[in-house]
Amino acid sequence: MIYFILHIYLVSMEKALFGAGCFWGVEETFCKTPGVINTLVGYSGGDTINPSYESVCQGNTNHTEVVLVEFDNSKISYEDLLMVFWKCHDPTTLNRQGPDIGTQYRSAIYYYNEDQKNKSIHSKNEYAKSAGLNIVTEISEAKEFYKAEEYHQKYIQKTGLHCAI
């Protein structure tokens, strides 16, 4: 019986990878989203192996600050996560979110399969059309995810600080 329950749980678990500015506030937003099981902040989309926060901030790794979202697709759909993504940042500003400037703060969706790719493109087009906005969000195949340093994980929960998101 335990195997059966575990098997069902694992089958409905998926992951998504989003860049929407400083990862602290983005992670907090997704943490509070029903159906999200776990989040991790880190770096992806770049060229450097095992980047550090300092190297990413210097702007020479081409990595994006990202949030890896593990979710139960029987409780929340990928499309619903995309709506959270669109609403939690400004997808019209290139390499910038509020006062944070640099390529590491770019708006990005990194997809894990063709279904996510197609849903991401469709969602971007629909969001741009309905909002009348020029969306600059990058949509690319997910590269290696590098977990950020431990002090960045659940940063807002740990410190009680607030983010502009």
What is the residue type of 88?
C
From the number of C-beta atoms within 10 Å of its C-beta (0-12, 13-18, 19+), residue 90 rates as middle
Q: Give whole-number Cα distances, 117 to 29, 142, 164, in Å.
A: 22, 10, 29
The H-or-E segment that residue 67 falls in is: strand 64-72
The H-or-E segment that residue 141 falls in is: strand 138-141
Catalytic residue among 22, 31, 57, 163: 22
Which distant-in-sequence residues (6+ apart) come within 8 Å of 149 by Cβ?
A: 52, 53
Helices 114-131 and 78-87, axial angle in degrees (round to 10)? 40
Q: Give whole-number Cα distances, 104 to 21, 55, 114, 159, in Å.
A: 7, 10, 25, 23
Residue 22 annotated as catalytic: yes
Active site residues: 22
